[in-house]
Amino acid sequence: EAAAVVTNENKWNRNGFGGDGAIRTGKYNKEETETVKRAVENYCAVKQISVARLCSECDHKAELKGAWMEIAKELPHRSVQSVYRHGLRQLHPFKRGTWSDEEVEILITSVTQYGKKWASIQTKLNRSADSCRDKFREIDDSYIRGRWKENETEQLKRLIREHLRTDPLADIKELGKMVESQHIKIPWSTISKRMGKRSRLSCFKKWQKMTGLFSASD
């Protein structure tokens, strides 16, 4: 029997040891956050690089390839991608808050020149890749903005229920409580694609409004 081909993409969705069993999703607790910070600091000490350099250059410097797979070994119950994203949120001094007109212009120009390569674009704006992606989707004319229509809301509810494999008539607020208590991760990018004309961020915010709760985004 031929061995399965393991690509970089599916390694990214496994833990640092390449395993894919019992991967935890959802919000990081204080102990996990401290473990990530300590693992990053130890890695940087061994490699004799700064934490800032690791966070800024890990996506496009060959010598830093595989850094997060190594770091993620300290949290074998989390995927490499999850550790990477959480680490950057905690340690990279990304700019937050309202976007200026100049930043939006740079974002549009960068996407036009390089495509939707968010890991590269984030370095030009000092905004996280997720932030750049969400902002572009917000301003992209191909997405609907503003008030949700009733049929859109019902479609979103249906897609969420399908993902959670629950009763088609299950109460959304009760599902929100279940997602929160069980730390279930909803794949908002997938939900957005199935919605067709609503961005990932728009779907996520609508979910928050419907449930009054926070849930982890992908």
Q: What is the pLDDT of residues 31-71, one digit of tens each?
A: 999 999 999 999 999 999 888 788 877 766 677 778 999 99
Same domain, 78 and 111: no
Is residue 136 a part of any domain in this protein? no
Residue 141 falls inside a structural domain: no
Same domain, 82 and 105: no
Same domain, yes or no: 81 and 111: no
pLDDT score recorded for residue 113: 86
> How large is the average pLDDT for residues 144-157?
91
Instruction: State which residues form the domain around 109.
Output: 101-131
Q: Please state, in angstroms and rounded to a whole number, the distance separating the CA atoms of residues 154 and 159.
A: 9
At residue 77, the pLDDT reads: 92
16's CB contacts (< 8 A; 6+ apart) are 69, 70, 71, 72, 73, 74, 75, 76, 80, 83
Predicted pLDDT of residue 10:
60
- With tokens 């935890």, the residue in question is 24
Taking the complete model, does pTM exceed 0.85, yes or no? no
Domain co-membership, 82 together with 123: no
What's the number of domains the chain is made of? Answer: 3
Distance of CA 11 to the CA centre of its chain: 16
| Single-letter residue type at 98 | T
Residues 123 and 166 in one domain: no
Residue 218 domain-assigned (yes or no): no
Residue 114 lies in a domain: yes
* pLDDT exceeds cutoff 90 at 166: yes
Examine the domain organization and report whether 177 and 205 are in the same domain.
Answer: yes
* pLDDT (0 to 100) of residue 146: 83
3-class secondary-structure state, position 174: helix
- The residue ranking higher by pLDDT, 57 or 206, is 206
95 pLDDT band (50/70/90 cuts)? confident
pLDDT of res. 14: 84
Residue 88 has pLDDT above 60, yes or no: yes
pLDDT (0 to 100) of residue 60: 62
Among the listed ranges 28-32, 55-59, 183-187, which one has the minimum average pLDDT value?
Answer: 55-59
Q: Let me know whether 154 and 181 are in one domain.
A: yes
Taken as a whole, the chain contains a residue count of 218
H helix count then E strand count, the chain: 12, 0
What is the model's pLDDT at position 145?
76
pLDDT band at residue 6 using 50, 70 and 90 as cut-offs: very low
Mean pLDDT of 111-119: 85
CA dihedral in degrees (69, 75, 76, 77; nearest 10)?
-120
**45 and 107 assigned to the same domain:** no
Q: How much is the mean pLDDT over the chain?
A: 84
C-alpha dihedral (35, 40, 43, 47), degrees to nearest 10: -170
Does the pLDDT of residue 193 top 60, yes or no?
yes
Q: Are residues 106 and 54 in the same domain?
A: no
